[in-house]
Amino acid sequence: MATVIKFKRSSEIGHIPQPEDLDFGEVAINDADGVMYYKKANGTISSFSSGGGQDALIEQIANEKAIIMAIALG
């Protein structure tokens, strides 16, 4: 028997979960926007979008790492 995994979800355009809406590692999907959200270790919400494909995901990860580095360097 297959296991069904259900994510928190919204069909409201532009709805973004708040940090208190998700636990660490929990995923939420906005099926109206095609965006997947998750809670990062620092307590903030980040997202993946289906619109840009793999290049957009790589760019988003690079941008997040650059922001983390800038914060660490002061």
What is the distance, to the nearest Å, from the Cα of residue 19 to the centroid of all Cα atoms in its chain? 11
Q: Kindly state whether residue 3 falls inside one of the protein's structural domains.
A: no
Determine the 3-state secondary structure of 30 from DSSP. Answer: strand
44 within a domain of the structure (yes/no) = yes
pLDDT of residue 19: 93
β pairing state of 8-10 and 35-39: unpaired
36, β-bridge pairs: 29, 48
Question: Does residue 39 have a pLDDT over 80?
Answer: yes
28 within a domain of the structure (yes/no)? yes
pTM of the model: 0.61
Owning domain of residue 45: 8-73
Res. 27: pLDDT tops 70:
yes
24/51: higher pLDDT: 24
Tell me the average pLDDT across 21-47.
87
> What's the total number of domains in the chain?
1
pLDDT reported for residue 49: 75
Cα–Cα nearest to 36, from 10, 61, 55, 59: 10
